[in-house]
A and B are shown apart, each in its own frame.
Chain A
Amino acid sequence: MFAQIREITLMNLQNLSSRLGSSSVIVVGIGGVVAVLVGLLSMATGFSAALNSTGKADRALIMREGSTSEMNGAMSAGQRATIRAMEEVATASGETYVVAAIEKIGTDVPANVVVRGVEPPSFDIRPEVKIIEGRRFEPGRAEIIVGVKAASQFKGLGVGETLKVRDQSWQVVGHFVAGGSVTESEIWADLANVQSAFRRGGTSNTMRVQLVSPEAALKLNKRLREDPRFDLMVRTEREHYAEQSRDRATLINDFGVAVGIIMAIGAVFAALNTMYSAVSSRTVEIATLRALGFSSLPVVVSVMIEAMALALLGGLLGGGLVWLAFDGYTASTLNNASFSQVAFDFAVTGDLLQMGLTWALALGLIGGLFPALRAARLPITTALRGE
């Protein structure tokens, strides 16, 4: 039986070159599916990878336990002082994160802008924040500095202009960059001023800390969670960005799979069609083999192996193409939570390629199965007539 399968399969595969024209539908169709699938998923994979490397491992946010947003949390000045003194903490700064509605340039519609109240150490913790025009705000004065992205998108944020928020007038005294990150879409002001303007008393939402080392994050987290005075947790920036952007990565991933499935359905029909005609053009051949005493199984198996060989070829081409074209290709996206503009590289990993080839083989299997079964079921006498 094995010899039968081998011989018939070899024969069919030898036949393949003469049918490459019609078989190319399978190769191209399945190649397309694999290319799109691997392409999109490599985007998701690359995106996740980028997020995992965004932010620093030795910089952390101290947030309310279980919260994912910087908007939550209320840390008193006393609590902040206690934390600042802890041995894992090199520098720490209380921050409050509020939003203000400001009209966007080009529209009359107000949109939310993040206003971040910071203490002076915030600038030390984030050296990427640099003033490019004007100067920093002075503590205790109603002054703000504006990230360059916010300045270009919202009205009235030029240096020297005055912004009215919550019955208070704020003087724009400077513009800053922040290494291209989403911080450039924020407005920064003195923490104490923000607390009073937004009626937060003496509390801040979070603390941003420079740790003594990346390992200190775990220790500090443990210490805070075990301390009954606090209801807080430590999250490194890296963890925080990843959390914030996980939805987007999942979305890209799901989208990739959905598009892959839709294309796969098309490819299956193309494969079915091709294999039906490949098989029907050999109806007499197959019937002759069966007349000679060959059983149906080798016929079925060989047709399926043929379809899967074509599919594999398509998968290799599609996956290889994406790999050549996209691996390491850099793209960027704006994060959902308006958290950051994340630049990332497509990552066409071995796992993805392997998955693409698995899809290809599965499609080939389906595309070959039905024509093979039909060839095997046709009565020999009917098939020999070549109708």
Chain B
Amino acid sequence: MSAAVTCRNLEKQYTKGKEVVPVLTGINLEIEEGDFVALMGPSGSGKTTLLNLIGGLDHPTGGEIEVGGVDLNDMNGRELAKWRSEHVGFIFQFYNLLPVLNAQRNVELPLLLTKLSRKQRAKNAGTALEIVGLADRAKHKPSELSGGQQQRVAIARALVADPSLLVCDEPTGDLDRETADEILGLLQTLNQEYGKTIIMVTHDPLAAERARHVLHMDKGKLVTDAGVEV
């Protein structure tokens, strides 16, 4: 198996005015294709920042990052946007569905960036909704769906363009235990049966248990379970 994600000495700092805030201070990381990795750590440790770099939403300020065999360092914003639309599915804590669109149309959104016909888009969106078990809610607006259902729609949206990598930032952070377990089960299915590589940020140890591997972060670095820098 080849590496889905490789980070070498990855750094990210933000500049607020004159002040430089180091957020990631040298991340070395390798995630295999088909892995399901949970990323844990205290608030502010840089989990989201790392996830955003892996998802190609932002540029690192140092080090190297390679995702799916592609070097993200050299890509400009436009290239990154195209790359994301083809290779990464995003799942957010608050689902980030568009409130005016029904489930079907929300799921179809990423396909607008493809050359698929309208009919084919609708068909693929329907399939994605079936995978997440919401085929019967296709015409519902997000406001007419429960939190768990909304997250399922969001997962369908992340799936629909068939990316190899799913990045999830606290996907169960806003859900009750039972619903969270369902969503985690769904992610496991996507990992095991559909071969998606999944990186999931979570604060929930029970959620992390569902992953194949767990990584811990602290103060911008990856650490072992015991808190030792790796």
What's the Cα separation between A7 and B78 when bound, in Å? 20
Q: Does A110 contact B (CB under 8 A)?
A: no
What's the Cα separation between A289 and B109 when bound, in Å? 8
> How many whole Å from B61's CB to the nearest CB in chain A?
13
Chain A, interface size: which category? Answer: 20 to 34
Q: Are A380 and B110 interface neighbours, CB within 8 A?
A: no
Q: Which of A225-233, A236-244, A290-298, A310-318 is the contact stretch?
A: A290-298
Q: Which of B90, B92, B101, B112 is packed against the most chain A CB atoms within 10 Å?
A: B112
Residues in B neighbouring A338, C-beta threshold 8 A: none
CB-CB contacts of B78-110 with A at 8 A, as 1s and 0s?
Answer: 100110111000101010101111000000011
What's the Cα separation between A285 and B99 when bound, in Å? 9
Q: Does B52 contact A (CB under 8 A)?
A: yes
Q: Are B81 and A294 interface neighbours, CB within 8 A?
A: yes
A-B contact count (CB 8 A): 59
Q: Does B113 contact A (CB under 8 A)?
A: yes
Q: Does A384 contact B (CB under 8 A)?
A: yes
> How many whole Å from B211's CB to the nearest CB in chain A?
22
Query: B85 touches which one: A293, A379, A381, A384 (CB < 8 A)?
Result: A293
Q: Are A292 and B100 interface neighbours, CB within 8 A?
A: no
Residues in A9-31 with C-beta less than 8 Å from chain B: 11, 14-15, 18
Q: Known contacts being A3-B112, A384-B57, is A293 close to B84, with CB within 8 Å? A: yes
> How many whole Å from B75's CB to the nearest CB in chain A?
13
Q: Are B98 and A292 interface neighbours, CB within 8 A?
A: no
Q: Are B101 and A380 interface neighbours, CB within 8 A?
A: no
Residues in A neighbouring B49, C-beta threshold 8 A: 381
What's the Cα separation between A3 and B108 when bound, in Å? 13
Known contacts A289-B109, A381-B52; 14 additional CB pairs below 8 A are A7-B112, A11-B98, A288-B98, A289-B98, A290-B81, A291-B84, A291-B90, A292-B85, A292-B90, A293-B81, A293-B84, A294-B113, A381-B49, A381-B58
What's the Cα separation between A294 and B101 when bound, in Å? 16
Q: Are B98 and A380 interface neighbours, CB within 8 A?
A: no
Residues in A neighbouring B109, C-beta threshold 8 A: 7, 289, 292
Query: A293 touches which one: B48, B58, B94, B113 (CB < 8 A)?
Result: B113
A-side residues, CB < 8 A to B, are: 3-4, 7, 11, 14-15, 18, 284-285, 288-295, 379-381, 384
8 nearest CB pairs, A to B: A293-B85, A288-B96, A14-B100, A381-B58, A293-B81, A293-B84, A381-B52, A15-B100
What's the Cα separation between A285 and B101 when bound, in Å? 12
Q: Are A4 and B57 interface neighbours, CB within 8 A?
A: no
Q: Which of A11, A15, A290, A292 is packed against the most chain B CB atoms within 10 Å?
A: A292
Nearest residue (CB) in A for B95 is: A288
> How many whole Å from A355's CB to the nearest CB in chain B?
34
Query: Is chain B's interface secondary structure helix, strand, loop, or mixed overall?
Result: helix
Residues in B neighbouring A295, C-beta threshold 8 A: 78, 81
Residues in A neighbouring B57, C-beta threshold 8 A: 291, 380-381, 384
Q: Are A292 and B113 interface neighbours, CB within 8 A?
A: yes
> How many whole Å from B68's CB to the nearest CB in chain A?
15
Q: Are A285 and B96 interface neighbours, CB within 8 A?
A: yes
What's the Cα separation between A291 and B85 when bound, in Å? 8
Q: Are A11 and B78 interface neighbours, CB within 8 A?
A: no
Residues in A neighbouring B99, C-beta threshold 8 A: 15, 285
What's the Cα separation between A288 and B85 when bound, in Å? 12
Q: Are B92 and A379 interface neighbours, CB within 8 A?
A: no
> How many whole Å from A383's CB to the nearest CB in chain B?
10
> How many whole Å from B120's CB to the nearest CB in chain A?
13
Nearest residue (CB) in B for A386 is: B94
Residues in A neighbouring B101, C-beta threshold 8 A: 11
What's the Cα separation between A11 and B97 when bound, in Å? 12
Query: A380 touches which one: B58, B94, B100, B113 (CB < 8 A)?
Result: B58
Residues in A neighbouring B78, C-beta threshold 8 A: 295
Residues in B neighbouring A18, C-beta threshold 8 A: 100
What's the Cα separation between A7 and B121 when bound, in Å? 13
Nearest residue (CB) in B for A385 is: B48
Residues in B neighbouring A11, C-beta threshold 8 A: 98, 100-101
Nearest residue (CB) in B for A289 is: B109
Q: Are A288 and B92 interface neighbours, CB within 8 A?
A: yes
Residues in A neighbouring B81, C-beta threshold 8 A: 290, 293-295
What's the Cα separation between A6 and B157 when bound, in Å? 19
Residues in B neighbouring A3, C-beta threshold 8 A: 112
Residues in A neighbouring B113, C-beta threshold 8 A: 4, 292-294
Q: Which of B57, B90, B92, B94 is packed against the most chain A CB atoms within 10 Å?
A: B57
Residues in B175-212 with C-beta less than 8 Å from chain A: none
Q: Known contacts being A11-B98, A14-B100, A381-B52, is A293 close to B92, with CB within 8 Å? A: no
Nearest residue (CB) in B for A295 is: B81
Query: B98 touches which one: A285, A290, A379 (CB < 8 A)?
Result: A285
What's the Cα separation between A288 and B90 when bound, in Å? 9
